[in-house]
Each structure stands twice: as C-alpha cells, then as structure tokens.
Amino acid sequence: MNTSNRSANPDRASILEICDKEQVRFLRLQFTDILGTNKNVEVPRSQFEKALGGEIMFDGSSIEGFVRIEESDMLLSPDLSTFQIFPWEDSRGKVARLICDVSMPDGTVFDGCPRSTLRRITAEAAEMGFRAFLGPEAEFFLFMRAENGSPTTKTHDHGAYFDMTPVDKGEECRRDIVNTLAAMGFEIEASHHEVAPGQHEIDFKYDEALATADNIVTFKLVVRKVALDYNLHATFMPKPLADVNGSGMHTHQSLFRGEENAFYDPDNEMQLSETALHYIGGLLAHAKGMCGVTNPLVNSYKRLVPGYEAPTNIVWSEKNRSPMIRIPARRGIGTRVELRMPDPSCNPYLAFAVMIAAGLDGIRRKLDPGPSVNKNVFDMSQREKRRLKIGELPENQFEAVNAMEKDSLIRETLGDHIFNKFIDNKKIEWSRYHTHVSHYEMDKYFPILAC
C-alpha cells in the first residue's frame, strides 16, 4: 500500500536538473531539534552538489539538545525523496528544500536526531511484519497582529465548529494554506473552522509514519508562512485562550501487513483484530509515560482539563469521543485507532516514535485493553471510574515528566541522549514556570494583601 506523494527514488542528477530547469537559487536543508523546532541551513546554487552528497556541516552545539561545544561539527544527510520547490514567489529566486537526518562527522547516525529515532522504530515495526500509518489532525489558531507587528490574542471571527462565517482574513488565509499545501503534493481531505473563535483545522491524507512526521513539519511551516502573508499570527500553542477549547493533534494510527490492514478482522467482536486490541493495550499501558512527549509543554496540561472536550481519562471507546482512545466507525482498510491526547506543540518524530513503540509493546506482550467504555466518561463519578479501573492522565507537566522517567520503554525508544536532554529541558521549564509570579497572582493577591 502506497499513499505517499514523494518523488519516486529521485537521484542527485535528476534533482540538479530540476533545480536548473526551474531556476532554483537556494536550497534549504531542514531538520528539527529535540523539541521539534524547525531548523535549516540554506545554501546557494554553487553548493547544491555538496548538499545533495551530505557534505554540509553545521554547528550542533548551537542546537537545543544536540552536542557539547567540544564536539560541535555535525553533518546534514538529506533524504532525497523529500525534495520540494516552495510554491511561493521570492524576488531573490526560487527556493527548494530537503529534509535531513543529522549525522556525526564520520557519517554514523547521531543519537540525538529525532528523525533517525522514528526511522529506527519503524524499522522495528518492519521486523515484526508491519508498516505503521498515521493521520494527524493538527489544529491551530489565527490571531491578529498589532500595528507594530507583534501578535495579539484577538481574532476576527466568532465562528464555531464547522461554521460558515462571512469571508474574512481567517477564511481566506485557510484557503491559501490549502492551496499552498496542495501545490507541495499534499492530498487535502478537509478544512474547516474549529470550535473556538479563530481556531482552524486542515486534514491531509494519512501516510507512513516518517512521511507523516515530515508532512507535519512542512504543514507547520506553510501555516505560519501564509498567515504572515495575511498579517496574521498562527500558533500551534495547545491552549492560547483560557475559556475556550484548546488545540489538539488527534492521531489516527493503523498497522499494515502488505496491503492488508492488520487492525481489521471481520469475524472478531467490533471487527477489531487481536493485533488492534493489543496495540490499544500498549497505548493505554504507556499513556502516562508518553504524555511528556506527546504533550510536552506546561501549557499542554491547560488543554487536558475537563469541560473542553480534551481527554483526561486513560480508557478506550468505539462509540464516543470522551476517552483517550476512540475507534472511528470505518472498517476494512480504514480500520484505525485514534489517540486523542497529543497536541500540535510536540515534536512529531518523537511523538510518533513513542506511540508506535507503545503499540508494538502491547502486541509483543499481548496486553489486554479491557472492555470498551461507551458511556460518556466526562459524566462519570470518581467512584464509577475507580470501579471500571479508569486511570487519569497527568494533571501537569511535572507529573508527566515523572511518569516519563519511570517508563523504561519511553527511555529505550528515545535513547539515552534524547531522553536525558528532553527530561533536563522539561525540568528547567517546569522550574521556571513554578517560580514565576503570574498576572493571576498579582490580580488576586496584591490588592487584598496591601497594607
């Protein structure tokens, strides 16, 4: 089964030929740091041959979570199948990109490369006879900018879920984002206004795990770039506004054996295979440990609260959207598991790696997910949840990092380098947040405690 829009095994010569024919003047070599931030080294036409050969070095000591200053030189190893010419106009000449893995100077894989981490996990799935396919739904907000260009939290619509608001910058911007993504080979399935004012969702077709992670990285870049063209600020922050729904990244997942969906069994209950049930069992078993990666920010846990449709309970269902895992109604080739807790601030390479690893662990260990809970979990009492053995996701980043440290599978999946750097970063983030005196505290306590 092949859904990818990537070029069919391009080689250096064909890419150079395309660049010259299309008058490409600059080539971006893209990668992400451990936190998922897009980075790039851009080279002019004179350096294209070296770039395609993986000969471009950069200073890894300047990148979050990479290497010490004593061992800073690193190589960018491009994946030629990711070659794309950006469709927007640039007076300085056309710009193309290649997504890269990060390597050591001797060419060996760098332990801190998020993309290589996901590649390793998909190789483990292949050894078990599976190909992992994912389809994320990354939500985002569009906010207006002030006269000086700084972002505000003001929106120019009051739309809600699926609303058809009067044409405004948000609607026009979303359409241009769709057109730009389509020009870059994305198969767009739907776009619509989300629940909160200024909140949007654009869904593109699922693909194999590595290609999907690359697509999310590209998707974020395009959304931000087009928004800027409209003098708007696009954010993938999970909870930018306190009293409305936050932005999630529900991730649909399935495993294939050849052309067959390994999650589908027409003769089993709910038409879910034992493989699917064990995969669900793995996601449930490692939910708390995964949360630090799939929901990495202090702000992430202000989305994962009751009352705003985001899941807070570690449970699965085939019929409702309140649990952490939902089974969409489609069967056959479309049988899939929807993990609803991730948010779009995560590093997609690391988030997908821990999701797949958790599911594979469930298959290896034949973990039982327990019965499907089809009652609205949000309406249950704590007593009923305890009776059904329904656990809860971490309430804050501190709890999530502690759970992550205790989960040996998450450490094994990320590797010691990424795991330790990630944990260190998140502990610093929590410490700074925990000691910060907020506007809330000043507004609430300062007036009443005055002399």
416 is catalytic: no
| pLDDT score at 386 | 84
One-character DSSP codes across 205-219? --EEHHHHHHHHHHH
**Out of 33, 101, 139, 343, which one is annotated catalytic?**
139
Q: Which tens digit of pLDDT belongs to each residue from 182-207?
A: 999 999 988 778 668 888 989 999 99
Domain boundaries, the chain: 12-107, 120-435
321 is catalytic: yes
**Dihedral Cα 426, 428, 431, 437, nearest 10 deg:** -100
> Rounded to the nearest 5°, which phi and psi values hold at 326?
-120, 145
Amino acid (one-letter) located at 387: R
How far apart (Å, rounded) are the C-alpha atoms in residues 130 and 192?
33
| pLDDT score at 243 | 85
- Give strand pairing partners of 144: 232
3-state SS assignment for residue 24: strand
137 is catalytic: yes
**Out of 101, 171, 194, 207, which one is annotated catalytic?**
194
176 is catalytic: no
Run of H or E residues at 68:
none
Query: How far from the centroid of its chain's Cα atoms is residue 241's Cα?
Result: 20
How far apart (Å, rounded) are the C-alpha atoms in residues 333 and 399?
38
Q: What is the pTM of this model?
A: 0.92
How far apart (Å, rounded) are the C-alpha atoms in residues 445 and 451?
12
How far apart (Å, rounded) are the C-alpha atoms in residues 61 and 397?
26
The stretches in the chain having pLDDT less than 50 are 2, 5, 69-71, 160-163
Q: Are 200 and 194 in contact (CB under 8 A)?
A: yes
201 is catalytic: yes
| pLDDT score at 158 | 64
92 is catalytic: no
Run of H or E residues at 154:
none
CATH number listed for the domain at residues 120-435: 3.30.590.10
Give the CATH number of domain 12-107; options: 3.10.20.70, 3.40.309.10, 3.90.230.10, 3.40.30.10. Answer: 3.10.20.70
Query: How far from the centroid of its chain's Cα atoms is residue 48's Cα?
Result: 30
399 to 73, 191, 442: CA distances (angstroms): 36, 35, 26
| pLDDT score at 162 | 44
